Structure 1
């Protein structure tokens, strides 16, 4: 007999129905929590009609004893089902299967027929379509993977002690309105850091904390450019940056890079009406070139004359182990059209997810307004810890140590390649850093995609440079991620790589 709220007669679970419930898997090693398994099983039994509407279930205590689990576990499953309308609870009486339980349960039970049917994707926005098309390509970000720092060298124990000290003294969270640009302590620390290390004069009002260089660039493209605007980009350059700009409808203008960096005159000639330029002036990726002083002045003159924006990506400026510090464009001019992007992904590690933008306060205010609607403000916990890490001198001490290690690793890789494969590569002479560009010699019969694949098979982080070009007939070469290889492993890995390379050449010549 079905039970309604007005009915006083109770239809209890039969022995057969109880046996169905006691057959629930209670294996403690199962990845699915037990309360969820009870919840799912009750739904299935109700949907299949094995527990009829109006039936009163065993009390949580009774079923828990039968399943040899805690009463709280069963009660939690019951509570979820009551909330969803599959069960109903009468105070002082018991828990019953609701009248419409089967229909409600069916809504959330998997339907094999429905799952196998072809899903008709609704139309995306133009931006969504472009972004989806860009992501359908190779999503590898060479700079993130092969230009990455060695996180095993970071002093995590020291960081942990600072974190405990900073947050263990009852620190109060600043006013929320102050957090949109980032924690005040960190913005002050960054201003002092870039003044010491990069020659940049800036106030905290000129700093916006972001969750990485990609978010920094995304904000700049959204706020300062419109779809259809022209953006000069380095060729070759980072594929991810180009894809992000294309997805937002920005027209990319590839500008060649040579030993003196971005060919500014060529860029102005082919796109005099460009709205902005994205440049890695201090250390171009992937060639390692530094923008010459003549071209820097030429670029600054273009920005002053046309009102164009300069987006300067200084992704590893503090790590470049050059004999003379290479100052960024931002430090050479008071032009308010320069936007500087810095990051801690190379000096601390990409796991931190902290970067920053330095620009005119009005530009920062506009960017802050945009980020308010994207993620409000960046993660709060690591910011004052990083500020203390900087202010107490730990970051610069760590950077000094890393410079020495990365320089030794790159120098060793350069020597081993020269010794073992001098006829295959032309090595760039840029500043020691996290990566080593190696151009294929004119006589090399293999293409750089295959050569990079051979290097990876020898456990050497490597990527082909040709895929970073936006124009046809690219120059062939590979980037070796020397920063992530220990000095002890480099000779052996390069030896294996050269062996694979020579074997492949022999096969190629036979064909």
Structure 2
């Protein structure tokens, strides 16, 4: 139960003919109808509200008496006054979302829902909440005045050291803690790189298909994205050289190409590194889920092959822990540490210190490595079960790609079906999905569904969800 902030509710009008007690009554009625006050929410005491509004307490009590008499609020003694539980009050209709002329909704790549097949979510049912709660309580108890001021903008030293050690052991990346910069997510990471190393009118290679927010973010920074095709070996470096040989950077997902999940082959990796070294360009390695490979051990990071200091390695805790903690990290070449420190001081505010402290403890006590190992095994099982369940129902209409790793499936649509229209119908029935054509630079190409499997707990669940998709075809 919460006490609502009164500034969210329309102010009183001293010039109105309606008396103050009635304005307060209308004010609360409107807040309930608008959804700002919900059944069970606590409302301010008459004394507190009178003090805040500068009115006589009797005026507030008159308004509250009228609300009580009509059943809108209830006085609970020392527990305070609350909106009546189970209050059935018609709410104002929300404005319908706007859609393009095609009638297909604009996709969201940062949804705040939890729907079947929702992309970007780890297995929420297997997150070690008890361990997290224990670490959180310990960090809160240990908090000192020095922990309550502004956090270090580049990240807590202990967390930066923990990340550096983890990357050395698991991804083959040799780096010092000073090369690690903690960010608030992928978008912040790309923005930090752009401010540090790029300028307006520069061109940057992006995979096509590829993660759409990258194109959008670079566009806002007046940086030209160059769509470079992807095939079975990853980004076609020769095409990038032909399309924009003097590009200042390339953003790639070598472990599992986003969204096709193919791995960048060794010849392509070496060609990309050679291009960057010869042209003084930068490579941004987005290793968003490199830990989750099911046919063999995780591949070494592209950064581990970098001998000329041209690769910036971007990782995230969103896919291995929780998106809500808003923590990611960037490893920069040693020669660029000073530049990134300068830009971080100018643009970054620092991530919450308490969250960083909890993650640090999670890493230092070994929970992080064990959690990744458990999730790798679980995701292999859930991927197999989900693919089998969906194929048994949708096999005549879709073909599931064989992928070495990742956290989502690719269902290729047979015939002339529109993946965007199917995704739109799925969203309306409570199913999540993303259309492959929304991940291409020109919104065209082969039609396919992108479906996350990490929260599908069994083959029977997948079959049931598959039948719901089948009914929409």
Taking structure 2 as the reference length, what is the TM-score of the superposition?
0.76
Q: Distance in 1 between matches of 2:453 and 2:422?
A: 16
Task: Please say if 1:299 is aligned against 2:272.
Answer: yes
Mapped contact 2:273–2:310 kept (Cα < 8 A): no
Q: Which residue of 2 aligns with 1:330?
A: 303
Q: Distance in 2 between matches of 1:468 and 1:36?
A: 38
Q: Distance in 1 between matches of 2:469 and 2:159?
A: 44
Shift of 1:172: 6.1
Q: Distance in 1 between matches of 2:17 and 2:430?
A: 54
Cα distance change on mapping 1:75 and 1:331 into 2, 3 Å: same
SS in 2 for 1:320: coil
Q: Which residue of 1 aligns with 2:258?
A: 285
Shift of 1:454: 4.7
CA RMSD, Structure 1 to Structure 2 (Å): 3.1
Q: Distance in 2 between matches of 1:188 and 1:76?
A: 48
Mapped contact 1:460–1:480 kept (Cα < 8 A): no
Task: Please say if 1:138 is aligned against 2:106.
Answer: yes
Q: Distance in 1 between matches of 2:206 and 2:439?
A: 11
Shift of 1:457: 5.6
Q: 2:142 aligns with which of 152, 169, 176?
A: 169
Q: What are the equivalent positions in structure 2 for 1:171-210 lying under 5 Å apart?
A: 171=144, 173=146, 179-210=152-183
Q: What are the equivalent positions in structure 2 for 1:210-249 lying under 5 Å apart?
A: 210-249=183-222
Moved more, 444-453 or 155-164: 444-453
Q: 1:451 aligns with which of 402, 407, 422?
A: 422
Q: Which residue of 2 aligns with 1:493?
A: 465
Cα distance change on mapping 1:459 and 1:489 into 2, 3 Å: farther
Structure possessing the higher radius of gyration over alpha carbons: 1
Cα distance change on mapping 1:50 and 1:150 into 2, 3 Å: closer
Mapped contact 1:186–1:387 kept (Cα < 8 A): yes
Q: Which digits, 9 at most, give the CA deviation of each residue in 1:121-145, with x for residues without a partner? A: xxxxxxxxxxxxxxxx935117995
Q: Which residue of 1 aligns with 2:346?
A: 373
Q: Which digits, 9 at most, give the CA deviation of each residue in 1:280-314, with x for residues without a partner? A: 01111111110000100000000111111101100
Taking structure 1 as the reference length, what is the TM-score of the superposition?
0.71
Higher relative contact order (CA 8 A, sep 6+): 2
SS in 2 for 1:489: helix
Q: Which residue of 2 aligns with 1:45?
A: 14
Shift of 1:402: 1.4
SS in 1 for 2:121: coil
SS in 2 for 1:256: strand
Q: Distance in 2 between matches of 1:71 and 1:454?
A: 51
Gaps of 5+ in 2: 21-43, 56-104, 113-117
Mapped contact 1:458–1:497 kept (Cα < 8 A): no
Mapped contact 1:304–1:335 kept (Cα < 8 A): yes
Q: Which digits, 9 at most, give the CA deviation of each residue in 1:135-156, with x for residues without a partner? A: xx93511799513213232112
Mapped contact 1:208–1:364 kept (Cα < 8 A): no
Q: Which ranges of 4 or more aligned residues in structure 1 deviate by more than 6 Å?
A: 47-51, 174-178
Q: Which digits, 9 at most, give the CA deviation of each residue in 1:245-296, with x for residues without a partner? A: 1111111110111111111111111111111000001111111110000100
Q: Distance in 2 between matches of 1:200 and 1:49?
A: 70
Shift of 1:371: 2.9
Q: Distance in 2 between matches of 1:279 and 1:204?
A: 24
Cα distance change on mapping 1:308 and 1:150 into 2, 3 Å: same
Q: Distance in 1 between matches of 2:423 and 2:45?
A: 55
Q: Which residue of 2 aligns with 1:88?
A: none
Cα distance change on mapping 1:200 and 1:177 into 2, 3 Å: farther
Cα distance change on mapping 1:300 and 1:454 into 2, 3 Å: same
Shift of 1:191: 0.8
Q: How many residues align?
A: 397
Mapped contact 2:151–2:350 kept (Cα < 8 A): no
Mapped contact 1:318–1:399 kept (Cα < 8 A): yes
Mapped contact 1:407–1:433 kept (Cα < 8 A): no
Q: Distance in 2 between matches of 1:148 and 1:458?
A: 20
Task: Please say if 1:313 is aligned against 2:313.
Answer: no
More helix by share: 1
Q: Which digits, 9 at most, give the CA deviation of each residue in 1:10-53, with x for residues without a partner? A: xxxxxxxxxxxxxxxxxx999565x998x944xx23576999xx
SS in 2 for 1:404: helix
SS in 2 for 1:272: coil
Q: Distance in 1 between matches of 2:230 and 2:396?
A: 24
Q: What are the equivalent positions in structure 2 for 1:75-94 lying under 5 Å apart?
A: 75-78=51-54
Q: Distance in 2 between matches of 1:375 and 1:273?
A: 30
